[in-house]
Structure 1
């Protein structure tokens, strides 16, 4: 019956107590130079290592207590030896032989210990102490101890015994000549092989139901086995310090060490042992060793390992080691150059030596041949294995030769051919991971153009969500590189190379997100006045697409730049009309900016050919805006109106009178068809104070105000065109439904009749002004204000009209004279007197009125 945890704790404590007690007694005997009694106590506490009842962790705990106690014994023996050397004639209490004979005799004596565990531990501690003195038969002792350790075949006891042997002999192994070195290597390899056998055997101890427990225990003991390989690596690398010209550590490893170790790893046929030991092999031996044995490691070792072992993890570990090597070599080269900044020749030598040492094509060839062999031997290799292995290959290539995409194309060609529509979603996701690795390594936007098979593989992914994830990663990389390097897209080839990956983002329809709320997605954004719900991520994605549009730039050729922008609109942006409302404004602004540059230059150069091209591009731009209008007039007319006004203003600045007139006319079309009686005309009105003349304005009023302001700033319209446009906008203002909107709209339009807008083309002087029509606008505004049912609002409107009238008076309008001002002041005074004195709104209006009166008086003075 298995022992409980409490039982094991009790046994552990009993072992600790006995070891501590016997160890103290041994120390006391040693202090009194009673060696034989001390060895008896030593044998007693070593007996505790014979237990079968402890876990590996518990056994390690008592092992460390024993180790410390044996170190005390070793120190005593060594000091006794040294004292005998200083006084050779003095007799010892325990031996009549010379100093060397003293240790040799002890080594023989302890072999008569009754139990094998105490016997072997004492043999090792005495034997290794003996090995540390000059003239000792080191190699004989090594052979004897390694052979005697065969006597312990219990897995845990044998492992710790051999581990102790390894620890004690660590700095005592011979290195004097090639023969000594070979025997040292044989000793370490022999110990490793036996320890590995014991470690594997532990898995098969006990009942089959305890296999999982044994597996966990073995994982706790793995470092004991691996320590042999660590020491072996140090020995091979340190031997002779390069004094033996015929010795090459790399060649010795390749011919002697590697075959022996890997044969043992393969033959053990144990999943845990193979996984761990291959990892140790990769980590502890230098990179040059692995480059020399790469083909054998991949095609003779990896392919012959346990069927359940994941080769991808081993390949990834090996490649990660190579990548770390390359980065270290690169950093060292850069450091060397920085310390010798003027030594260009040294820099070249550092780079050349690194690249010559590792031929990238040969490196990839070895890994690729392994992958082919693996596919042949295991046709059912999981998609996860394919993905991890190929991702490691991609990382390797991008690290060692980031500008060469030939080998990368080999990978993507194979992946494209291997990927099947029959793969389920999980398998496709695994394969899709191959596309992320190069994106992270790109140093230039144009790098993706060099990968011929990258897009074919991307395009074969059946799941659009996977394509979308890759496209988002790519668009983020493009934008980050633009910030870091200032890179832009200058040709249609570059536009195609990038935008073909964004088609999946552009084509995604916001209408498909209408069900977001029903799916439990609470974080949404309302658009179109709350009629549609979309996610912030969706808007962010299209914002990124718009930012990439901004990267289309040909600095020295604005016309070519415009052509490229037209190209991206025709081939990509208009693939989903629902989305053009998010991308077209950016496109239009970019084109308009380039047209301004061309137009301003041509105003001085006056080239007819360039002027013709400018006119043509304005017409093309008008088509784009019209396309936006046709598909989004219902909910985005106010935005489209502002776009038309912006383009019309630029056309006017460039003295394109007919185009500017047509664009302003189109603004009225947009207004008439969509803004006069839109359902959202009084947006948020319910939240506005009805007495506030500056709040609750309708969308129609805001549109009239925008058109009027744009017309007021024009400089190059003909008199007739200007008069026609301002008459129309004033008329529209006078037809607004709300009285306060009417009053303020007509008041604002009054400015259009006063010295603005049209100019004489020859003299550039303002030639349009109609003071009488201005007065009519003021009068119309006054009549509307007087007709409001809210007396408080009426007073406020009167004050606004008075304010404007004072301005017109200052600028010399003959109709807005002192008489007109005085009559208006009296009208306001009468209305204020009729209102309640206690109303806060009245107090505000009254204060404003008094300030105006103060201004009038000061002006007279």
Structure 2
């Protein structure tokens, strides 16, 4: 054994020396270069040890590289052609690949892992032959198509070695020009299904599609070539055959192939939405055997697949036309479905996309159903509050992006949204109902002054019809329960009905608000806020006749006087005085009832003062009296005949007396407030004119 290795070593040294001598001989041109090269290749057969043979042939390739007959080369002639150079390199490549594969089977099986590592380190020696081929000027497209590629692929397929097949296919893709790949696409793709089942074909195919995509993006002039060779169809068919042939390919591998194909399609054929939908459809077909994906890598690939059209078109409306888009999303687990829904909404917000038809809204809300309703047994109560709130706020923002100039279509959009969000559960409704109500009120104001009757099942977009829908929607919200929010929305709708001159509708909304206040609003602070909202909204209403307005005003003043705390009662009652004196409504100027409200507020303030005196042993703060004084001054300036200078003077004296007796009051606020009010009275007196004359009798 040792003797044979010594012989082999000596022979290796002798052949290496011979190669140098032959190189000189080729330069002398005493014999055709092809004959010398042929002899050199044959001489290498003397070395059968795989590793030594590889290095020897690699050395041969190196020393002969600049001696190959090529176009423009000094060795090209009648006897030497480019084909001779190609034959030499291909023969050397074939023999080197055989030696490389044989390395795996050298020695016992227990050292096979070591040999595999050595082979991986030596692979560049084999690949350099393909690089040499790509550098030969005479290897034009036809020669490559008819000779080079078929012979290389033949060797790749026949070697039946996983490492060799993967590496050599990758070499072919990397070293030869993109134009050659495009023109020989069918031949190249036909080789993939013939490779060993364990070869990582998805990576090689993905690299091929990436190169072709970059080639297409390099110049618009090459795009017709892609159409001419039907690149998409060939790639799509090849991927199908590969997936079919490699039955053990993991699902993540299949999806990654479709991601690469979709990326290729979006770059080369961005206008062909049918191609995009076809790729998504193929992915759906592959996923049809599974219920929900559980492999995180596969899930990420599906998310990449779904995100690609959004990033390319910057318009969710385009994605909504893809019939297979929602079918792919159905295969995501619930958590990822929600993540993808957020991505879709963010895309809409980023690009200010306007969803303008009910059909598209239907598709969109099916896509984001993971945010709109619970897809599994996990209830909204179990979710993280902050994350849940952010998700629902994104849905609320989305509703404002839905718009159509046509009122009929806009009403259909609102009804579609209502259908989806009403199934979201009690915790979601407080987030999603308000934007729906506000969007509907925008439509109402566009239709202001229009009216009509419902004919058959078709419901024309009239304010009355929209208010019916809003009433039903808010009623569902009030039962969540979220009574304070529902009350606010009832008042918003009442004000919109007022602008449309629909008195019965406005009265109905106020009635619903009062019912909610009576039956559902129990917290004292919430009651205070609610009653002030009611008073403020009712003050702005001008649609009511005398009877309806008196009924609502009576209720508001009654509720004000029944608040839990005296200061809250006082402030609500004097706020009610504005319900009887509205500047822009000539019919609503009842000075007597204004005075009654203010006197009632004074009695409540006095009671609060007495209660404070009992509990603290001294008189309490007089802020309420100063606030009432300011209301007196307001109506005095507005010309209310019931508010006289004598009444104001009496109130000023009362406050001075109370403040003198309030010796324990350490807060400077009432003092400052009262001083500012007195300065205002003095300013009006000094200003002169009609107002100065009115204020003249008041002494401060």
- Check 1:213–1:827 CA distance in 2 against 1; reply closer, same or farther (3 A cut): farther
Please list the CA deviations of residues 631-653 of structure 1 after superposition, one character each: whole Å capped at 9, or x if unmatched. Answer: x2x3x211111111111112212
Q: For residues 742 and 439 of structure 1, do their structure 2 counterparts lie closer, same or farther at Cα, with a shift above 3 Å needed? A: same
**In the alignment, does 2:550 pair up with 1:723?**
yes
Q: Which residue of 2 aligns with 1:615?
A: 464
Judge conservation of contact 2:622–2:659 (CA < 8 Å) in 1.
Answer: yes
1:387–1:431 CA contact under 8 A, matched in 2:
no
Residue in 2 that maps onto 1:383:
251
Partner of 1:590: 439
Distance 1:716 1:129, change over 3 A: farther
Deviations, residues 577-623 of structure 1 (Å, cap 9, x unaligned): 42332212111111100111221xx3xxx777799932232233222
Partner of residue 174, structure 1: 69
Residues 272 and 509 of structure 1, relative CA distance in 2, 3 Å threshold? closer
What is the distance in 1 between the residues matched to 2:544 and 2:491?
Answer: 14
| Post-superposition offset of 1:277 | 0.7
User: Does 2:110 correspond to 1:285?
Assistant: no
Check whether the contact 1:128–1:172 (CA below 8 A) recurs between aligned residues.
yes
Q: Quote the Cα distance in structure 2 between the aligned partners of 1:424 and 1:723.
A: 62
3-state secondary structure, aligned to 2:84: helix
Against the structure 1 CA distance between its residues 359 and 397, is the aligned structure 2 distance closer, same or farther, given a 3 Å change threshold? Answer: farther
CA distance in 1, matches of 2:541, 2:503: 10
Moved more, 189-198 or 280-289: 189-198
Instruction: Give the aligned length.
Output: 660
Who is 1:686 aligned against?
Answer: none
Corresponding residue for 2:125? 224
> Relative to structure 2, which stretch is displaced further, 164-173 or 225-234?
164-173
- Given that 1:475 and 1:544 are in contact with CA atoms closer than 8 Å, whether structure 2 keeps it comes out as yes
Task: Identify the match of residue 422 of structure 2 among 543, 566, 574.
Answer: 574
Rg larger in 1 or in 2?
A: 1
- Cα deviation digits, residues 284-304 of structure 1 (max 9, x gap): 1123322343333333x2222
Query: After superposition, what is the alpha-carbon deviation per residue over 1:651-686, rounded to whole angstroms, capped at 9, x for unaligned?
Result: 2122222222222222211211112x23xx3xxxxx
2:23–2:63 contact (8 Å) kept in structure 1: yes
> How big is the shift at 1:232?
0.4
Give the C-alpha shift of residue 409 in structure 1.
5.0
Give the alignment partner of residue 207 of structure 2, picking from 301, 317, 324. Answer: 317
Give 1:835 deviation, angstroms: 3.0
The aligned residue for residue 512 of structure 1 is 378
Alignment of 1:632-671 (within 5 A): 632=480, 634=481, 636-671=482-517
The structure-2 alpha-carbon separation of the partners of 1:607 and 1:514, relative to structure 1 and needing over 3 Å to count, comes to: closer
Match of 1:856 in 2: 681
Contact map agreement 1:386 1:431 (CA 8 A) in 2: no
Match of 2:158?
Answer: 267
Question: Displacement, 1:457?
Answer: 5.2
Name the counterpart of 1:796: 623
Name the residue aligned to 2:581: 754
Find the aligned partners of 2:620 and 2:442 in 1 and give their Cα distance.
43
Deviations 1:285-337 (A, max 9, x none): 123322343333333x2222223113222222222222222222xxx23xxxx
Give the SS at the match of 2:65. coil
Tell me which residue corresponds to 2:114: 213
Describe the SS at the equivalent of 1:553: coil
Q: Which residue of the partner structure matches residue 227 of structure 2?
A: 358
Q: 2:148 aligns with which of 247, 250, 257?
A: 257
* Cα distance change on mapping 1:544 and 1:262 into 2, 3 Å: same
Distance 1:768 1:269 in 2: 97
5+ residue gaps in structure 2?
71-75, 455-459, 614-618, 687-700
- 1:629 and 2:500 aligned: no
Change (3 A) 1:372 1:489: closer
- 8 A Cα contact 2:309 2:319, kept in partner: no
The 1:289/1:645 distance shift into structure 2, 3 A limit, reads same
Q: Is 1:554 matched up with 2:387?
A: no
Instruction: Name 2:593's counterpart in structure 1.
Output: 773
Structure 1 unaligned runs (5+)? 1-50, 53-111, 240-247, 334-349, 517-532, 682-697, 760-765
Distance between the aligned counterparts of 1:502 and 1:625, measured in 2?
Answer: 23
Greater shift after overlay, 744-753 or 534-543?
534-543
Contact 1:513 1:534 in 2 (8 A): no
TM-score, length-normalised on structure 2? Answer: 0.84
